Amino acid sequence: MSSLSRDEVAHVAMLARIQLSDAELDKLAGQLDQIVGFVGQVNDIAADDIPPMSHPLPLTNVARPDEVRPSLTQQEALSGAPASDLGRFEVPRILDED
């Protein structure tokens, strides 16, 4: 498995919108390369007779039944909003389009 380059780590950090210093990029490149190597080792030993799982313990979804209950109307919900548009909350943009 090839090692991760500093540029690849910088690209991933940019996609995640994380600013990293040069020292952090150098440190993380080595650490992420180790993580990718460990994942590769797990893939190498994965056997067909072992079923894939998302959690080591069996989990049960404990959701209540979906029942209609009294709730606010759209107008009531938007009545306290500082701004609304087309029946929805209007919020200021926080991310620029790149």
Could you state, in order of their start, the residue ranges of all structural domains in the chain?
A: 1-45
Separation between Cα atoms, residue 59 and residue 62, nearest integer Å: 9
pLDDT one-digit tens code per residue, 63-79? 888 899 999 999 999 99
Residue 17's region, left for phi above 0, alpha for psi from -120 to 50, else beta, is left
Closest CA to 27 of 6, 2, 1: 6
| pTM confidence score | 0.44
CB proximity list for 84: less than 8 A, separation 6 or greater: 78, 90
Low-confidence residues of the chain: pLDDT under 50: 1
Q: Spell out the CATH class of 1-45.
A: mainly alpha
Do residues 26 and 6 make contact, with C-beta atoms less than 8 angstroms apart?
yes
